């Protein structure tokens, strides 16, 4: 968090360094026209020569003044009976007018005939640009004290936000049952601290109008508050509803479901009333629950709040995957446990290993098998299709975290601590999936006929996983003994380029396709305000190289139930339409 704070403050400071001199200049009152490259010389109300000025004296005096300015080419002044005739050349109309006014205000001048010719300057004249650069540089130097003050204030208020947010969340922990709501309220309480610092900096800089704009709904504050409440508004009633069912009845010998025979030909069965426990009520957990319900399984879902919008017939209980005692309690009587929970994306290295360790320790005494929903980060950049036998060569923080967790699972299986199967999917999409590179920033604009916002190079092949196929695969791995102790790439639709996938979406909607791909630089800029964008930067190699997943191992062992891409997109579009 400290690095993020410094990085963000530096970016804001850079913004002030560039925008401050310009904005200050924009708020200054307009100046009168000044000859380019020179200081303004006001025309005197009257130029006295002597009590009674002779024509020759007037001509001599005006000629010396015009020559002294060096604004005129071959200036000549002729005076006849008090009438001044001006000849010569100059670069601008302002200088010509200035000369006429000078002569008109001279003592004993009756009239002025201004015959000075204005000649255009050279086409390649950089003097105006150089003048503006010198002016901007001077104002930038003058703004350095303000920028130093702004840096100190912004960094200080950014750091101050963290303890305030943590304190608010701690005070609200016993009053609010939802961890999501606690986090949102805590962050919302802390945001004004930073905004106050930003407002103070802008006020000191003299940018009052800009400060008011930023503190309005149309500025940065509107964006920050919008993201603070985004997750809550999208969760709809998910933190309000809980469907409870009684604990499963004892197994019924007459109602067993036949599974595929094992390698020796012996028939295998799974009790339809055997309890299946799912940790996590996000998109993957929900897809797994739907697949299990379709198989007639008894399903219990676990999250920290004990609340979620789930299909009828599913029990939702409160539990903490990091606490082995809590895991042991909620998994009592379970035949299979599915680990689909995860901490916030930006806290994986700090919290994910502890979460998994809690699940492993708690399940060791339960005797159930564990099926884990995993991703592909641990492989790192690869050339060619990804297969399950690739070594873990990740160099990113989240990739190394995933690699360590995968190794820990397989070691626990080899020690006989518990039976484990790992299912790995690519970037997924589908019903319930919003926070994904193929999520609401693509489907939302497409439904409205607007431009979809994708990530990376759109013309490279990229494998995407349909969330329903991922859930089905985890349910299959939970049924099959031969899945244990191994890694499986779940079935995926045909691999296309991202542009081809998004074009299919627009074709299904009847709109002309329009899309853009956000590169690494723009992702860094977006990361100043959006945590997800900031955390995606280190994974951008996935979208700047071909990203192809091979799932033939799974297909040969259990069958290929991958949904074709167009059909998967149709189902996803139908879900998004229901949310509008």
| Three-state secondary-structure class, residue 318 | strand
Task: Give CA–CA dist 317/303, Å, rounded.
Answer: 7
Q: 100: phi > 0 → left, psi -120 to 50 → alpha, else beta; which?
A: alpha
Q: DSSP assignment, residue 211? A: H
pLDDT in tens, the chain (580 residues): 444 444 454 555 554 554 445 444 444 444 444 444 444 445 555 555 555 678 888 999 999 999 988 889 999 999 998 899 999 999 888 899 999 999 898 888 889 999 999 987 676 767 667 777 887 888 788 778 877 887 888 788 877 877 887 777 777 766 665 566 666 777 777 777 777 777 777 777 666 655 665 555 444 545 455 544 444 444 444 333 333 333 333 333 333 444 444 444 444 445 557 899 999 999 999 999 999 999 999 999 999 999 999 999 999 999 999 999 999 999 999 999 999 999 999 999 999 999 999 999 999 889 899 999 999 999 999 999 999 999 999 999 999 999 999 999 999 999 999 999 999 999 999 999 999 999 999 999 999 999 999 999 999 999 999 999 999 999 999 999 999 999 999 999 999 999 999 999 999 999 999 999 998 888 888 777 777 778 889 999 999 999 999 999 999 999 999 999 999 999 999 999 999 8
* Alpha carbon distances (Å) from 306 to 80, 174, 301, 336: 103, 14, 8, 20
**Beta-strand relationship, 257-259 and 369-374:** unpaired
Nearest Cα residue to 499 out of 454, 539, 545, 548: 454
**Helix residue spans in 39-126 (DSSP H):** 55-69, 93-104
Q: In the structure encoding, which two tokens stand for residue 262, read together?
A: 């094992």
Q: In this predicted structure, what is the pLDDT of residue 178? A: 58
486: which 2 tokens? Answer: 């191994």
What is the structure's pLDDT at 160?
81
Helix (H) or strand (E) holding 561: none
Query: Which residues are paired to 72 by β-bridges?
Result: 90
pTM comes to: 0.59
552 within 8 A of 466, measured Cβ to Cβ:
no
SS3 58: helix
Question: Which residues fall within 8 angstroms of residue 59, CB to CB, at 6 or more apart?
Answer: 77, 78, 79, 84
Q: Kindly state the DSSP code that residue 304 receives in the 8-state scheme.
A: S
Q: Are 371 and 337 in contact (CB under 8 A)?
A: yes
Q: Which domains does the chain have, with CATH numbers?
A: 2-30+126-234 (no CATH), 270-579 (3.40.50.720)
The reported pLDDT for the residue numbered 260 is: 42
Determine the Cα–Cα distance for residues 345 and 374; give it in Å rounded to an integer: 14
């Amino acid at each position: 968090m400290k690095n993020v704070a410094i990085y963000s403050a530096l970016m804001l400071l850079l913004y002030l360094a560039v925008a401050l001199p310009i904005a200050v200049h924009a708020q200054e009152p307009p100046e009168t026209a000044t000859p380019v490259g020179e200081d303004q010389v006001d025309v005197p109300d009257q130029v006295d020569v002597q009590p009674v000025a002779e024509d020759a004296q007037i001509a001599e005096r005006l000629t010396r003044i015009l020559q002294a300015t060096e604004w005129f080419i071959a200036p000549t002044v002729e005076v006849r009976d008090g009438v001044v005739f001006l000849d010569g050349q100059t670069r601008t109309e302002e200088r010509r007018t200035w000369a006429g006014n000078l002569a008109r205000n001279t003592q004993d001048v009756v009239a002025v005939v201004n015959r000075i010719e204005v000649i255009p300057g050279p086409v390649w004249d950089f003097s105006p640009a150089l003048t503006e650069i010198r002016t901007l540089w001077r104002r930038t130097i003058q703004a350095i004290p303000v920028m130093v003050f702004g840096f100190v204030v912004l960094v200080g208020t950014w750091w101050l936000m963290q303890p305030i947010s943590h304190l608010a969340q701690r005070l609200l922990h016993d009053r609010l049952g939802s961890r999501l709501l606690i986090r949102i309220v805590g962050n919302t309480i802390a945001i004004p601290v930073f905004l106050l610092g930003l407002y103070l900096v802008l006020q000191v800089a003299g940018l009052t109008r800009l400060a008011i704009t930023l503190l309005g709904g149309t500025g940065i504050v509107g964006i920050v508050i919008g993201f603070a409440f985004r997750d809550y508004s999208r969760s709809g009633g998910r933190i309000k509803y809980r469907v409870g069912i009684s604990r499963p009845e004892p197994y019924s010998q007459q109602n067993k479901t036949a599974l595929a025979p094992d390698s020796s030909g012996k028939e295998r069965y799974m009790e339809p009333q055997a309890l299946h426990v799912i940790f996590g009520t996000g998109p993957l957990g929900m897809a797994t629950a739907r697949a299990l319900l379709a198989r007639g399984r008894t399903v219990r879902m676990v999250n920290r709040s004990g609340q979620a919008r789930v299909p009828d017939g599913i029990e939702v209980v409160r539990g903490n995957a990091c606490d082995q005692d809590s895991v042991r309690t909620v998994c009592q009587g379970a035949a299979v446990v599915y680990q689909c929970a995860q901490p916030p994306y930006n806290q994986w290295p700090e919290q994910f290993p502890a979460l998994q360790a809690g699940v492993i320790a708690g399940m060791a005494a339960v005797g159930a098998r564990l099926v884990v929903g995993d991703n592909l980060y641990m492989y790192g950049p690869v050339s060619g299709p990804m297969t399950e036998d690739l070594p873990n060569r990740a160099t990113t923080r989240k990739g190394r975290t995933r690699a360590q967790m995968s190794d820990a699972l397989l070691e626990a299986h080899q020690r006989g601590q518990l039976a484990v199967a790992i299912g790995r999917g690519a970037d997924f999409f589908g019903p319930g999936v919003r926070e994904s590179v193929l999520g609401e920033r693509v489907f939302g604009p497409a439904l409205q006929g607007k431009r979809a916002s994708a990530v990376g190079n759109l013309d490279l092949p990229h494998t995407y996983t349909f969330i329903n196929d991922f859930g089905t695969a985890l349910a299959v791995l939970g049924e099959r003994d031969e899945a244990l102790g191994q890694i499986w790439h779940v079935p995926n639709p045909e691999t296309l380029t991202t542009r081809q996938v998004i074009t299919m979406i627009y074709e299904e909607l009847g709109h002309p396709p329009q899309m853009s791909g956000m590169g690494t630089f723009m992702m860094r800029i977006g990361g100043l305000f959006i945590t997800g964008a900031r955390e995606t930067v280190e994974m951008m190699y996935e979208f700047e190289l071909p990203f192809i997943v091979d799932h033939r191992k799974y297909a040969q062992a259990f069958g290929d139930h991958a949904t074709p891409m167009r059909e998967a997109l149709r189902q996803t579009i139908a879900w998004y339409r229901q949310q509008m």
